[in-house]
Structure 1
Amino acid sequence: MAANPVPVVETRSAERGTEAPPPPTGEKGTPAAPRGLPLFIRLFLLILLCALPTLGGLGWVMMDANVVALTETVRHQHRAIVWDVQRTVRSGLARVEQDLEDISTILFGPGLGDDATRYALAGSRVAALRGIDFVTLYAPSGQSVTTVKAEEVPDPRMPSRLEPALLEALRASNGKLVIQRVHTNAQGEPVLEAFFPIVRDDGSVRAVLGTLVKLRDLCELLGELSEKFLGSRENVFVVDRERRLVLHGDLARVAAREDLSRHGLFKALSGDSSFDTDMVAISDFQLDGEEMVGSLETLSERGWAVAVQQPQSVVYASLSAMRRSILFALALAVLVALAVGLFGARQLTQPIRELVAATRALAERTFRGVSERVTRRGDELGTLGRAFDSMAVTLEAKEREVVTQTQVRAALSRYLSPDVVDLVVSNPEQLRLGGERREVTILFADVVGFTKLSESQPPETIVALLNELFTFATEIIQRRGGIIDKFIGDCVMAVWGSPQSHPDDALRAVQAAEDLRRWLDVGNRRWRARWGIEIQLAIGIHTGPAVAGNVGSEKRMEYTVIGDTVNVAARIESMAQPGQILVSEATRERIGDSGVELVPAGERQLHGRTAATRIFEVPL
């Protein structure tokens, strides 16, 4: 095909209609370089552009990382304090529970005498305890029986009869301490009303012990812990599910049962939260106009929550000094980047000029290297210069090799298919006799009545017709992924599956046969108008194993496929009528449900084969 002509565009002045002046030229007629910033300035600006955002981003990340790290440290500290408070509260209540269990053993254990003796022993045990001053014994019905206490302790204010809801909670507590409420004792100190069920072996409640647990020691411990780690006795406290103080460093606030339901820390929780499930909340909030950081974690088995709070001004006090240090370091780094940028740009400019000159020479296909001033350098530019010299030598050799390969491919492509040409050129060591076993699909397409046609037409007409037929047949077969194995007079033998194979080789072969049949209608119209003749093709296709490789002698060989599959395909083609495409059962099985319509043509007895072969036809 002829090359498309290159359009010539004439540029004219929009105002005067005259031809535009040619662009300015430099040495040897090359276009002059556009004016712009020198390379030195560009490299300097590039270094700054790369360094400054990186340094700024690094500083920002460092400050942000410090904020995050400090925040995490504070939160870990709060969690540690919360865990310490939880452990202390659980330990104190467990000690009370153990004391009440010991008293229950005195009251109901075997071999300790009558009730008076047991009550006296229980009173002595209570007098020795620090956290409780008395124990009131209740019957399983909830009715008060007696109170055991030291003589100097005033009569306690305990209910004479337990409420049904409390009795039900005691039965469901599985022998554990049940907390009721916080109130004050006769001395005005905060105490915790608690009840302990005495359980029989069968799980029923034998009796109940009630007492008031003093909270002074726990509150003092919380105050000391808060003051030691957070700088104030106000920053650690425990509340119940009604958000009222249970434990705090200030006993008066606990005794007053201060309501903290409007405290900012509880806004992180839903309004109906009862603290009966394990939960952790971390929040920033305001307290009396001051920004605070707080953490809250539930003591779920009691329906309580431990809260820790701290002013943000105290938490982030070290950030200001940290930011000043980082900004100073960044300013110093910027000055260093400026100095490095100036020096680096100066060092890079001269060798790059040398490389640019060598590149221009390379564009003119001179294949010369760079000067010794660049190649003797010991840095990366010297390495680049030496690599450029090596590249020039390699490009010169490769150009000669490409020219040679192009000439070889052009010559071979006139005799072999492109796949075989690629195989020969890329793997010359495969140019030896022999082959490999492969599954292939063979197509034979034969001109019907060629002998009669040859008798009625001059040889020049027959050759021209066959050349045109084989040209389009080759194009169709190669487009469908096959190769031309050989031309046998007026017959074309094509192969799919060698040297390159595809999963749908059989389908490609059938599609190529249909393309050949459709194209022949166009070809016949031309030949009828030109020579007054037309032809028909008989096509046979078969799939099976064959040996593909080089056949012949060491001096003259041919890439082809050999085997019974080739013979079967030829026999099928010989049975085809003009314009008919016959396909073997093996090819049909490889095609599967691909959408190609195949019509059974019965069983045929192929020449030289004992078993009958099922044949299918591709309908028009």
Structure 2
Amino acid sequence: MASSVSGRGSSSGVRSRVRYPIGLKLILIISCVLSAALSGMIFLASFFFRQDARVRIEENNHQTAQVLGLKVGDDFRGLVSRMQFLLSLRDASYTENFFASAPEILFAVVPGKTEYLNAAKAGEWAFDRYSLERILALEAPALEKGKTIPAVINLSPHLGKPAVAVVAPYREGDFEGTLVVAIDAASAIAALQARGIGWSFVVNESGELILHPDARELSSRQDLSALPIVDRFLRSATDNGQTLYRDASGAEYLGAFRKTGFAGLGVVSVVPAALAFEAVDAIQRRNLYLMGAVLSLAMIVVWFYSRSITRPVGVLMDAAHRVEAGDFQLDIKPKTRDELGALTASFVEMGRGLGEREKIKEAFGKFVNKDIAERAMRNELSLGGERRIAAVFFSDIRGFTSISESLEPEEVVEFLNQYFTIMVSCVEKTGGVVDKFIGDAVMAVWGVPVSSGRDVAAAVDAALLMRASLADFNSRRGGPRKPVIRIGCAINAGPVLAGQIGSSKRMEYTVIGDTVNLSSRIESLTKPFGVDILVSDAVRLELAGAYVLETMPLVTVKGKSEPQHVYAVLGKAGDRAAPLSLAELRGRLGLKDFALDADSFADEEEKKYKIEGRA
């Protein structure tokens, strides 16, 4: 069985089929390992550097918010105290000196009682009494609220300049009102200016922006409550906190807040994460460049090493091609004493073994059934015949001749393939073996070559499963090109002779005997009896009442001198979906009622059976 294809003449063809050479795989594997190790080290180091940087920035943020929170709270509380003291004096000369020492104050007003206007600041800002009345009118709700609790208002949208107003309860004797003090916010904004890479801002208890280092941000009332750090400030039960968050644009920030303890104000300090971790990212990039250089050097070393492996493997590839072509006599010899040398020696032995197995393989080609062939390969079948007890099943399609005459040959083949696929599936699901196909007929056995212990019941289960599967199959059929299919099935049980039968050139594993013949004869009775499943008396005895059977008339079949009892299968005992009578069964399957005379015969040319009576 040697082939003329061998050696160098075929090596180029064999190696052209190699898509991923070993050298390439070695480079990829080692590169992946090195990449994983180095990148793991780099990213772990970057992670810890980043964590350390984050801790330091969070501490700095926390301290900044702490200091500014205390300062803002103290400044506003001090301003309210000074103004309340000023109002209690009612001394015009002191008032002038007070405004001279506090030029940032624009006005101090107790609506309905007292008004003080800093003339210098009012002149600088072109602020007059009309402007004051307009502001008081616009902020009336806040002033009313200020009678009970302090508040801070952003006046920048009204004045066009950075300014805030402090609103606090004012009481003098029986009078209860609101103290409103407006100041230039420039000095407060200066305190919030960026510190290195971060900045701070002030919000009130509603999340509204009050002070910001960029005065342009104060030109309109901004609600920052949706900002995660502000939201956390609003919901926090503690005086301070910090978090890493993203804003609406996706930019990441490290933020901290501190409650001032005055008017519900809070100071928020933030640092952009991109700037905070810029040094860490730069170190990470340098390490990645170094990793690339190491990988490049490793690839060069591995490439040269891989050639010491790929050459012997190439020889084995050529030998494998010779085996593929049928030449099992290999003349290659090991050239090394390592694993590749041992593999070469084993490969030569494998070639000899394959030569022997090729002979056995020819015998397996004679088996039609896959399960039988596999059992034979595992030495689970004895050569020759053996007596076994089995359940034998036959089925065929009613009116197959007329169906095939109405269809094209290709349609017949397609239709049979679909039908046989369903039938074979039912047999295999119940542990049976398809023995053969005889035209449109199916022969199957249970208990050969191995018995399950319930072979007869399994055969009946298969027939019932075929009934249900065929009903589903027929639900998608109808019309001249896809006719509805009706079948007849028969099951008999008893002794059979099982073995390899055939000629010296072609054999098949099958069963023969009187049990097989009677099963075939019973199957031909399904049409005149108007049923789809018939079983013999031997099957009835094995079922022991587990199935609902309907007794049919006695029949005399060819090859049997005594009349035979046969039974129609309605279904499993206790199955509510099973038909209750033959009439119901025939109605479901569209079968004709039993209507033959007692002397009728199935076939005038070959009398296979005779019906002795009626059901």
Asked if these proteins are the same fold (TM beyond 0.5), I'd say no
TM-score, normalization: structure 1? 0.44
Kindly indicate whether structure 1 or structure 2 has the higher relative contact order, using CA contacts under 8 Å at least 6 residues apart.
Answer: 2
